[in-house]
Amino acid sequence: MKRAILFPLLISVVCALVLPINLGKALSGLKKVGETIRPISEEEEYFIGRAVAANILSKYPLWKKEAMTAYVNLAGNTMVLHSKRPEVYSGYHFAILDTDEINALSAPSGIIFLTRGLVQQTENEDELAAVIAHEICHIVAKDPLKAIKSDRMKSLGAFTAAEMTSGSSQVVKLFNNTVMDISGTLLEKGYSRKQEKEADLAAIRLMRTSGYNPEALLSMLQKLQSRETKKSKAFSAHPPAKDRCEYVRREVGKTGCSTSPARVDRYRIARQLSGI
């Protein structure tokens, strides 16, 4: 029994004599390893999201129609309260991009853009809510952050908060590349089919919980499918609408929720005030 205890002790003593160790460096190395796998904080996600949003706004101007912008924010923030991630650093923000393209984009930390072309396709508040719910669910799942290449994600995790704000050329380059990873996914490459399906199904659940008719998601997808056959750029970074319609139809068929006449009227007024 004594030999069993003394043997590993003897090995440790010999190693200490033969291989001297700088304890400070060892602890620092262990700390770095731990930080490499740490998740990005809410504050870090916020600053990445702002940079991604700025990049998007450098390509598309905002549509400055106060009535519809306020409407989108009211509907969006109402659903956010029923989501699985009701709070993010600095809160959720919704805006409309002034372009005929039909698209919706969700930057990290709750910054969501709809295009004017997409809003013009919606006929009622439920259809508008369907699109917003889908983007909220991307934020809840942190899908935008998953667009960061794995090597850059590890590098981000290895930096301390002090290093991230140091302004060094290495950090600036890493940050810029991270922003481009996410921007490229949102504007060109798109999310994976799995991520899109999960966001669609989660959007149906969120719409039910928020009192919206989930059939509106199906009607929006059917509109997009019709435009796809005309070789439009509608949701060009998304999977084919036909594929999405199939599983959304099955899921929506399990429940029923009527569209409120009051919502129809107030949305009609908001469209008129915005010149739609």
**Cα torsion 222, 223, 226, 232: sign:** negative
Q: Does 102 map to a domain?
A: yes
d(CA 195, CA 191): 6
Q: Does 216 map to a domain?
A: yes
Q: Does 133 map to a domain?
A: yes
pLDDT of residue 174: 82
Q: Does 7 map to a domain?
A: no
When divided into structural domains, the chain yields a total of 1
Mean pLDDT (whole number) for 101-106 = 95
Q: Does 231 map to a domain?
A: yes
- What domain range is 95 assigned to? 36-273
Q: Does 92 map to a domain?
A: yes
Q: Is 9 exposed, middle or buried (0-12, 13-18, 19+ CB in 10 A)?
A: exposed
Nearest to 105 by CA among 214, 248, 236, 228: 236
Mean pLDDT (whole number) for 158-169 = 55
pTM for the model: 0.80
Task: Please name the amino acid found at residue 16.
Answer: A
d(CA 62, CA 105): 13
Which residues are CB-contacts of 259 (< 8 A; sequence separation ≥ 6)?
124, 126, 213, 216
Q: Does 52 map to a domain?
A: yes
Tokens coding 61: 């101007």
Spatial contact of 210 and 129, defined as CB atoms under 8 Å apart: yes
Residue 183: other Cβ atoms inside 10 A: 23
Percent of the chain having pLDDT more than 90?
A: 60
Residue-wise pLDDT for 177-228, tens only, equals: 889 999 999 999 999 999 999 999 999 999 999 999 999 999 999 998 887 6
Per the model's pLDDT, the better-predicted residue between 154 and 200 turns out to be 200
pLDDT of residue 199: 97
Q: Does 114 map to a domain?
A: yes
Model confidence at 243, in pLDDT bands (50, 70, 90)? confident
